[in-house]
């Protein structure tokens, strides 16, 4: 009798996984279809859309956001999120810039800046994972602390970098096969992130934690340690984005990523791509498509001479729509699980 129940549960689990893969693929295909429609419409409405300069500017523009989105997607899968990414991005650039102007080698300066960023992530992970504080309050508090630290270090002024090595300039401004190196860094991190999310054992634990943390703990998963690792990863990727941005413009700006703009764009991209604020869902490919979608909309606003202040309004409407769809989808999933559990 027990063996029959076990077999039924395994079959149900297998069917659920197959169904989830189909649903995820459908979402990604839907977003891709909408992206193609937007591309066609913008190509017709604006002759400048398909120009090399515009496409290059668009790709470079979302590369740093894309790096952070990889980490944000994993945080969302775990059932959390991080509003401090923009501040960590700024702090890393400021620390690296300040150390370099003090006479320290630029690469050593960047390494120290990365460590500082990871420590910010540890702070988030410790208070969320160990202490049990809410991710919203915790990451907003850390955002304020980190942003304040950037202002203290710079007195609010940007740090211009003079005499940086050619190798560092190449990191931010160099091209490989006609594409900026920043784009290749973004694509490499995205590919590695996608492989991790789909194949790694640690990501299975992240999915379990996001789906049902209590069950994950009972299954022997150290969710506190896992959350600390996740937020350290988000901060590391934010720091990398900050250093790449500094290398691109050869200036460290304490106001970069001000407020929650960077975090909101990354969260919105992930939700559009299929991630859930409730946790347990998401894919890097979906988030990548969501990021492309957002940047096409913003690029279209500029090309069609729509006043730039409409950008936040439109992004806000998209966010409300995406969160509403996510909520409805989550409620339907709960209902389906209840129906299945009755059989």
Average predicted confidence (pLDDT) for the chain: 87
Q: What is the sign of the dihedral through the CA atoms of 128, 133, 135 and 140?
A: negative
pLDDT at position 325, please? 79
Higher per-residue confidence, 309 vs 230: 230
Pairing of strands 251-252, 159-160: antiparallel
On whether the pTM is more than 0.85, the answer is yes
Nearest by Cα to 121 from 251, 252, 242: 242
pLDDT at position 4, please? 47
Q: Phi and psi of 180, rounded to 5°?
A: -60, 145
Higher per-residue confidence, 259 vs 275: 275
Nearest by Cα to 113 from 248, 252, 264, 230: 252
Q: What is the DSSP letter of 256?
A: T
Q: What is the sign of the dihedral through the CA atoms of 240, 243, 248 and 253?
A: positive
Confidence of residue 311 (pLDDT cuts 50, 70, 90): confident
Going from the C-alpha of 206 to that of each of 12, 37, 53, 78, the distances in angstroms are 21, 34, 40, 5
Per-residue pLDDT at 273 exceeds 50? yes
- pLDDT 10s digits, 176-196: 888 899 999 999 999 999 999
Per-residue pLDDT at 18 exceeds 70? no
pLDDT at position 310, please? 81
Can you tell me the mean pLDDT for 15-36? 68
Dist CA 187 CA 175 (whole Å)? 14
pLDDT at position 189, please? 97
3-state secondary structure of 179: strand
Q: What is the set of domains in the chain, with CATH numbers?
A: 49-326 (1.10.3470)
pLDDT at position 307, please? 83
Dist CA 228 CA 92 (whole Å)? 19
Higher per-residue confidence, 299 vs 14: 299
pLDDT at position 8, please? 43
Nearest by Cα to 76 from 304, 298, 290: 290
Query: Across-strand partners of 252?
Result: 159
Dist CA 220 CA 224 (whole Å)? 12
Higher per-residue confidence, 5 vs 293: 293
Can you tell me the mean pLDDT for 118-123? 98
Higher per-residue confidence, 308 vs 288: 288
Q: Which are the contacts of 291, defined by CB distance < 8 A and separation ≥ 6? A: 62, 65, 66, 69, 265, 266, 269, 273
Nearest by Cα to 63 from 248, 192, 196: 248
pLDDT at position 130, please? 94
CA dihedral 184, 247, 291, 324 (to 10 degrees): 150
Per-residue pLDDT at 83 exceeds 70? yes
Opening angle at CA 205, ends 81 and 11, nearest 5: 120
Dist CA 99 CA 96 (whole Å)? 5
| Range 216-225, long-range pairs (CB < 8 A, 24+ positions) | 223/129, 224/129, 224/130, 225/129
Per-residue pLDDT at 87 exceeds 90? yes
Alpha-helical runs (H) found in the chain: 2-45, 52-77, 85-101, 106-125, 135-154, 166-173, 181-199, 201-211, 213-218, 223-249, 261-272, 284-303, 310-341
Confidence of residue 147 (pLDDT cuts 50, 70, 90): very high
pLDDT at position 14, please? 46
* Tokens coding 228: 């600390």
Say what percent of the chain tops pLDDT 70: 88
pLDDT at position 39, please? 92
Nearest by Cα to 77 from 212, 185, 190, 187: 212
């Amino acid at each position: 009798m027990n063996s029959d129940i076990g077999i039924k549960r395994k079959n149900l689990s297998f069917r659920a996984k197959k169904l989830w893969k189909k649903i995820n693929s459908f979402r990604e295909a839907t977003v891709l279809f909408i992206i193609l429609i937007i591309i066609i419409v913008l190509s017709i409405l604006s002759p400048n859309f398909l120009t090399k300069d515009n496409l290059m500017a668009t790709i470079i523009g979302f590369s740093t956001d894309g790096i952070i989105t990889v980490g944000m997607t994993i945080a969302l899968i775990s059932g959390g999120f991080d509003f401090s990414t923009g501040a960590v991005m700024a702090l890393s650039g400021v620390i690296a810039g300040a150390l370099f102007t003090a006479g320290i080698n630029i690469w050593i300066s960047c390494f120290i800046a990365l460590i500082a960023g990871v420590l910010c992530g540890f702070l988030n992970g410790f208070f969320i994972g160990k202490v049990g504080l809410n991710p919203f309050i915790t990451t907003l508090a850390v955002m304020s602390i980190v942003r304040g630290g950037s202002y203290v270090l710079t007195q609010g002024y940007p740090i211009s970098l003079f005499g940086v090595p050619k190798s560092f300039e190449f990191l931010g401004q160099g091209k490989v096969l006609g594409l900026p190196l920043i784009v290749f860094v973004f694509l490499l991190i995205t590919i590695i992130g996608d492989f991790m999310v789909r194949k790694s054992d640690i990501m299975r634990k992240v999915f379990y934690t996001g789906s049902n943390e209590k069950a994950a703990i009972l299954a022997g998963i150290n969710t506190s340690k896992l959350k600390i690792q996740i937020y350290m990863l988000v901060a590391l990727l934010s720091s990398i984005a900050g250093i790449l941005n500094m290398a691109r413009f050869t200036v460290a700006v304490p106001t970069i990523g001000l407020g929650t703009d960077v975090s909101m764009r990354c969260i919105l991209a992930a939700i559009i791509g299929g991630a859930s604020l409730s946790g347990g869902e998401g894919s890097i490919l979906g988030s990548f498509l969501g990021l492309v979608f957002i940047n096409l909309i913003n690029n279209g606003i500029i090309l069609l001479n729509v006043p730039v202040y409409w950008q936040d309004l439109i992004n806000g409407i998209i966010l409300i729509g995406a969160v509403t769809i996510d909520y409805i989808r989550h409620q339907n999933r709960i209902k389906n699980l209840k129906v299945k559990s009755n059989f």
